[in-house]
Amino acid sequence: MTDTTAASHTAPGTTARGLVADDLEVGYGPTTVLDGLNLTLPAGAFTAIVGPNGCGKSTLVRTLARTLRPRRGAVLLDGRPLTAWRPKQLAQQLAFLPQDPVVPDGVTVRSLVARGRHPYHSPLRQWAPGDDEAVAHAMDVTGVTALADDPLAELSGGQRQRAWIAMTLAQDTPHVLLDEPTSFLDLAHQIDVLHVCRDMRDQGRTVVAVLHDLNQAARYADHLVVMHEGRVHAEGTPDAVLGGDAGARLVGDVFDLACEIATDPQSGTPMVVPLARA
């Protein structure tokens, strides 16, 4: 269960570090959602995946997190297909927070965060050394330590989301995937979560989040991936993707929305301002 075994299994010719989607085709039943998608996620950066409803953002992030199996192609982590990893070994590399996780009734914040340690347990060792420290640290950096013994169900939406993120942090992985972590939160809590994402990146993690708000994505992410109809329409830094007339054209093409691109007065990043309708 060390990195050396991972490295020794690396297929020849595919030495890329980090997460790579290679010619993915993913669908449900007769519908194909992703069709021939290729993507390399920059290591150590905060990547935001954006796009209109139904473009396949969630499908992509769930496939990257191996909760969906592609029909064709593969997701590679450090050059090795996810399916070739042992599940717990992979879970020590890659954490995923789904959009709508099940809240066990009566679960406390501490008990929830502790479940992030499962990848380090084995059938004969259900408590691992370092569990307590990792749980305490994860609760500390997400600011939920004071809530540790409160039932999750009694917390506000923002506190609850922090607790879930603390659980993925307790998993202590270099890669963290989040499916719409800011949805259903009020604006202050959305900004809060985006700061937590940035902090995770500052600690050296690769963070990938599906986001809805283009301006927030441009302001907080290092790298934007714009999805449209099951493919990557554009990717790059926020300035390169959304800046100037090209950015306005892209929003028109992808979201079918007429807009101009202004500059965020605080961060200097591009800001999408929809045109007034007559």
Q: Please tell me whether residue 127 binds another protein under the rule CB under 8 A.
A: yes
We find the least distance from the C-beta atom of residue 179 to another protein, in angstroms, to be 9
- Lay out the site mask for another protein across 8-47 (x = CB under 8 A, - = otherwise): ----------------------------------------
Among 38, 83, 126, 263, the residue binding another protein under the rule CB under 8 A is 126
Binding segment toward another protein, per CB under 8 A, in 9-17, 58-66, 201-209, 269-277: 58-66
Binding segment toward another protein, per CB under 8 A, in 12-20, 44-52, 107-115, 231-239: 107-115
Residues paired with residue 226 on neighbouring β-strands, in sequence order: 50, 234
Q: Please tell me whether residue 97 binds another protein under the rule CB under 8 A.
A: yes
Closest-CA residue to 238 (of 270, 264, 190, 265): 270
Q: Please tell me whether residue 123 binds another protein under the rule CB under 8 A.
A: yes
Burial 151-180 (b: 16+ CB within 10 A, else e): ebeebeebbbbbbbbbbbbbbbbbbbbbbb
How far apart CA 233 and CA 235 sit, in angstroms, is 7
Its sign, for the CA torsion 40, 43, 158, 274, is negative
- Report the interface residues with another protein, using CB under 8 A: 62, 65-67, 87-92, 94-98, 101-102, 104-108, 110-112, 114-116, 118-119, 121, 123-124, 126-127, 149, 171
